[in-house]
Amino acid sequence: MAEIDTRVSLGASLPIIVRAEYEGDHPIAGGRLFVKLPWQSGIRNATCIVQTASNCSMDLRSGHVRASFDLDPGGSVEIHGEVLALDDADSQQLSAMATGPLSLSEEDSIDNFDRVEILQSLFRNGFEAVP
């Protein structure tokens, strides 16, 4: 996932960018990227940006992002959007998982997962610098 400021205040809009890259030898059809959003507030202004890829479509109905796409070797897919920070005492996470078709037969899929902790800052409005 792209580097973001993980401190956010209640009601603030948190910009997100999630990127999946494919380093294989052959084109794949039916790659998928699932992004579990914090607060389940859904995503606003969602866009799918592709490089050496095509057919990117997103399903946002669950409050999370389910994207599917086709990739050529060296290709990438980025999901851009904003998430509204809601009041929640629990620690929040933005997590993502990329998968390819079963025919890809990945030997090691540990690098297909990532997550970022999101911190709700008590002092963001009064004492912390706003980036």
**Segment 78-102, tens digit of pLDDT:** 999 999 888 766 678 888 888 887 6
Nearest to 111 by CA among 38, 49, 48, 23: 23
What are the distances in angstroms from CA 117 to CA 33, 51, 52, 90, 109? 19, 28, 30, 11, 21
β-bridge pairing 28-36 and 44-59:
unpaired
**CATH code at 98?**
2.60.40.740
Position 130 in a domain = no
Look at the chain and report how many structural domains it folds into.
1
Position 87 in a domain = yes
Position 127 in a domain = no
Position 30 in a domain = yes
Look at residue 33 and give its three-state secondary structure. strand
- The residue segments making up the domain with residue 19 are 7-103+112-120
> pLDDT for 6-53, tens place per residue?
567 778 888 899 999 988 888 999 999 999 988 878 999 999 999 999
Comparing 3 with 47, the larger pLDDT belongs to 47
Position 131 in a domain = no
Position 60 in a domain = yes
Q: What's the whole-model pTM score?
A: 0.76
Position 84 in a domain = yes
